Homo-oligomer: A and B are copies of this chain.
Amino acid sequence: MKTTSEQHDGPAAGPGSGLGTRERIVRATARLMQRQGYEGTGIKQISKEAEATLGSVYHFFPGGKQELAAEAIRHGDREFAEMLHRALEGRPDPAEAVLAVAQDVAAGLRASDWLDGCPVTATSLGTATHAPDIQRAAAEAFERWRGLVRDKLLACGFSAQDARELAHTVINTLEGAELTAQVARDEEPLLIAGRHLARLIGSYR
């Protein structure tokens, strides 16, 4: 048997990578759904990509595809939240920080040949009618990201209301600009968004 997972083999569990089976499944799900969406991604494709068998997938995620998708969204949530946190804490000026985030997102998108858009959006879109768990996970992700931006603005002396509302627009504009950049295969929308957001934030001083 290739692996009996973390408990048994310790840190070096996975066939290809050094990750446990469960983690490999989550990452494969996140990656695939980011590119192909929820409906466009099959569980068998996930199990193949993760180098795990169907049995393992349903062992770790008895809730099936929906549970898998919700977990994948939380994975993408954490990943972007960390990137956002680093960018914000590393720069005293929030306007500059947002600009840097936009540039980072643009660079990542281009590096994937315009394939890796926002994993939360891609995974949750189209599931509104029949998968409330997924919708909730997506809503929580956006909320967390907004919270990071809001706290930064609060720490910089913005009023509670201004900080909250600006956080909304910062995240939403980045989201929309990433979508457009992806479909146009051009990073300019994101760079423009960064500059405009910096300007908008600056207009509150």
Which residues of A are in contact with B by a Cβ distance under 8 Å? 35-40, 114-115, 117, 121-122, 124-129, 135, 138-139, 142-143, 165-166, 168-169, 171-177, 179-180, 182-184, 188-189, 192-193, 195-196, 199-200, 203
Contacts and interface: CB of A to CB of B under 8 A. Distances in A.
Nearest to A197: B169
B199 A172 contact: no
Contact of A169 (B127, B165, B173, B183): B173
A184 to B, nearest CB: 5
Tell me whether chain A's interface is mostly helix, strand or loop, or mixed: helix
Q: Which of A38, A176, A180, A193 has the most CB of B within 10 A?
A: A176
A35 B126 contact: yes
A152 to B, nearest CB: 17
